């Protein structure tokens, strides 16, 4: 095989490998992703065995510590549906009632269980332009 032909073959093989790997990546990302839903959407769409990103505000009066589990309810930003969540893991510093949170949950035996260490609290809205460069607990 001439050197030029060898080079072309190599290029084709390399590109094909890249395409295959990229496709595998893209395909798995869709199945591995958790859709972001509000409480009202989650109530309608939740299926057991799939994980979802529940976004909303922590409902007032709903926060209880029970041993190592944190129980709280997530409400729609505009009010309305609330969903109780049982969560274990790191609780971010800014977490409190009225704050916006994102927590990855799945439906187990009719209850929503928070994935370990998946609770994120958004910056408190009292700072008009939220502070930069900060990481909050996961």
Where does this chain bind another protein (CB under 8 A)?
A: 7, 14, 18, 21-22, 25-26, 28-30, 32-37, 53, 55, 65, 67-68, 88-94, 102, 104, 117-118, 120, 122-124, 126-138
Residue found under tokens 């929503």:
112
For residue 14, the minimal CB distance to another protein (Å) is 8
CB of 84 to another protein, least distance (A): 20
Q: Provide the β-strand partners of residue 88.
A: 69
Please check whether residue 40 is in contact with residue 51, taking contact to mean a CB–CB distance below 8 angstroms.
Answer: no
In terms of CB distance, is 40 or 92 closer to another protein?
A: 92
Q: From CA 113, how far away is CA 107, in angstroms rounded?
A: 6
Of residues 31 and 110, the one with the C-beta less far from another protein:
31
In whole angstroms, the minimum distance from the beta carbon of 50 to another protein comes to 10
CB of 33 to another protein, least distance (A): 4
Q: Over the range 26-49, which residues count as b (16 or more CB within 10 Å of their CB) and which as e?
A: eeeeeeeeeeebbbbbbeeebeee
Of 110 and 132, which has the nearer Cβ to another protein?
Answer: 132
Q: State the Cα–Cα distance between residues 40 and 45, nearest whole angstrom.
A: 9
Q: Judged by CB, which is closer to another protein: 81, or 137?
A: 137
CB of 119 to another protein, least distance (A): 10
Token pair recorded at residue 88: 């274990």
CA distances from 119 to 1, 2, 8, 26 (A): 59, 59, 50, 26
């Amino acid at each position: 095989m001439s050197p030029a032909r060898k080079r072309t073959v190599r290029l084709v093989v390399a590109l094909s490998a890249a395409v295959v790997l990229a496709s595998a990546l893209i395909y798995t990302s869709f199945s591995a992703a958790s859709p972001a839903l509000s409480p009202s959407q989650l109530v309608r769409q939740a299926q057991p065995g799939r994980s979802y990103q529940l976004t909303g505000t922590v409902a007032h009066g709903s926060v209880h510590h029970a041993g190592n589990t944190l129980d709280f309810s997530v409400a729609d930003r505009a009010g309305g549906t609330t969903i109780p969540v049982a969560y274990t893991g790191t609780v971010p510093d800014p977490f409190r009632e009225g704050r916006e949170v994102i927590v990855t949950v799945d439906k187990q035996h009719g209850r929503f269980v928070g994935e370990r260490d998946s609770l994120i609290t958004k910056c408190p809205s009292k700072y008009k332009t939220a502070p930069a460069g900060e990481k909050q607990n996961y």
